[in-house]
Structure 1
Amino acid sequence: MIDAHIHADTRPYEDFESMVISGVDTAISCAHDPLRMTSSEVVFDHFYRLMNNDIKRAAENGLKLYLALGIHPRSISSDYEKILKKLPQILKEDSVVALGEIGLERASNEEINIFKKQLKIAEDLKARVIVHTPRSNKKEVSLKTISIIQETINPGQVILDHVDFSLVDDVIEEEFMLGLTVQPEKMTPPEALKILEDYGSEKFLLNSDISSSPSDPLAVAKTVHLMKLKNFDEKEINQVSYENAANFFSI
């Protein structure tokens, strides 16, 4: 199984072991906002911790960890241009399979500007992108996010993440891959199954978004277990827990 979105730097060493024991052997760790990103140096330290420390911590427990790196909308430093300048080089690292997690949180002018610039980098490099959708004011901000994506980049390069019942009807016909985040206060395994029952498995991938917020490192495995109990077809289970993510990230 693949957990298509985690935040490895906020998780204890033992969580990686638990994930592997549950059947998750691969994960994508995204850049986020573990600290106040007061300067580009703090952001780069965050990136380098993921590249130089957390990949190693995961590997020691048998978990293959890949990275998505970028400027999260809650992690905008005053000198963010330095990060934008270095991103094309960072995205060429072997461990980095996508630009992310990027997007809009409040849809401020600054967020929109930085989001567009990062999407342009991804378009130029033909890189994959993981795009955040927020918890607050979700539909309005997400529709703005979608509009910017459609104006800037091939939607087939994008995972639109944290999709829920409020948003799924607006995106199911788009070219994006869609992330179902099974996490306390976001979505339960039964809720994820309801979406898969209603819309099919072809466009979705599961993730846990485990972070410093309430999280469950076994969220993907528990959802797969419930799918088996509810007699989902093996092909559907494989698509949302492995195949769609493996194909999207080419891993």
Structure 2
Amino acid sequence: MLFIDPHVHMTSRTTDDYEAMRNAGIVAIIEPAFWMGQPRTQVGTFKDYYSHLIGFERFRASQFGIKHYCTIGLNSKEANNEALAEEVMELLPLFVCKEGVVGVGEIGYDDQTAAEDKYYRLQLELAKEVSLPVQIHTPHRDKKKGTLRSMEVALEHGLDPSMVIVDHNNEETVQDVLDRGFWAAFTIYPHTKMGNERMTEIVKQYGPERIFINSAADWGISDPLAVPKTAHLMLERGIPAETVRLVTYQNALEAFGQSGQMQESEWLTTTQIDQSQKFSGNSILRGGQTPKIDSDTTIIR
């Protein structure tokens, strides 16, 4: 099977992760702009970070046969620094229409403050202006309240629910998200959020419509192989292969493919790996390493 991980923070991961992901069948990923673990203090750090997502990280993924896409946005935690947030908002229009950007995200609420609400709304308007999907981060605290509020505000701003991915769902929120016509994404973490056992039961109960999974692997304890591992568990538990394909591949492609920036043909027919290539003079290799060069590696489904 082939897989898409539609929410994974590869800037925080290693080349070993890329290699393991490709060996497990992951052919495409989406990396949302997110919180780096400590506050950024200058607008230039955001500019360099966004440039990295559409530049070197995209190149780094290609060196392992993985197609890299991203979403660009001001995350909810950093929206609370309003002086800096104002400057970041001036940057976003310069990046959201770049090649490989498939949405505005991840945005939404964290502590559900007035500042978070202000910049969430501004970014919803930006997404509407450039006709991109929205990737919503739902809060870790008061999740149901924050999830409902996220959707209500999106509808208030006139967004089509089919253009909005509500992420980090659980058993408490899934029905509300599906009832309103939004995409329901689930993060599979080793010890928190949604485990693969629980996810399997959700798919058994709700089926695959508008549901898909991701790893959200980052600098914390997380697993970049969460998507293929969950797929294999679902198959073991008797979930039909087509259902598994939908929640680990096809639904993410349909949701983010609405950007016009993500087509299956970009990885399905031929993936060329040439590790002799460089980006801004830099290679993923170090001295003495032999580059892997596959001039015509055809993916067979």
TM over 0.5: yes
In 1, Cα distance between the equivalents of 2:176 and 2:102? 27
In 2, Cα distance between the equivalents of 1:40 and 1:131? 22
Structure 2 counterpart SS, 1:41: helix
Partner of 1:181: 187
Q: How many residues align?
A: 251
CA contact (8 A) 2:162 2:255 kept: no
Within a 5 Å distance, the mapping from 1:11-22 to structure 2 comes to 11-22=13-24
Q: 2:146 aligns with which of 141, 145, 165?
A: 141
TM-score of the two chains, using structure 1 as the length reference: 0.96
Partner of 2:62: 59
Q: 1:168 aligns with which of 171, 174, 194?
A: 174
1:177-217 deviation digits (Å, cap 9, x = unpaired): 11011112111111111111111101111100001121001
Amino acid paired to 1:11: R
CA shift, 1:242, in A, is 1.0
Within a 5 Å distance, the mapping from 1:1-251 to structure 2 comes to 1-34=3-36, 35-76=38-79, 77=81, 78-152=83-157, 153-184=159-190, 185-250=192-257, 251=262
Amino acid paired to 1:32: F
In 2, Cα distance between the equivalents of 1:143 and 1:38? 31
Structure 1 counterpart SS, 2:26: coil
CA shift, 1:41, in A, is 1.3
CA contact (8 A) 1:123 1:154 kept: no
In 2, Cα distance between the equivalents of 1:57 and 1:14? 12
Q: Which moved more, 1:138-147 or 1:156-165?
A: 138-147
Structure 2 counterpart SS, 1:100: strand
Structure 2 counterpart SS, 1:25: strand
CA shift, 1:60, in A, is 0.9
CA contact (8 A) 1:30 1:101 kept: yes
Partner of 2:274: none
User: Which sections of structure 1, spanning at least 5 residues, go unmatched?
Assistant: none
Amino acid paired to 1:28: I
In 1, Cα distance between the equivalents of 2:53 and 2:148? 31
Choose 1 or 2 for highest CA Rg. Answer: 2
CA shift, 1:131, in A, is 0.3
Structure 2 counterpart SS, 1:43: helix
Q: Which moved more, 1:215-224 or 1:29-38?
A: 29-38
Q: Which moved more, 1:25-34 or 1:80-89?
A: 80-89
Structure 1 counterpart SS, 2:25: coil
Q: Which moved more, 1:32-41 or 1:67-76?
A: 32-41
Structure 1 counterpart SS, 2:7: strand
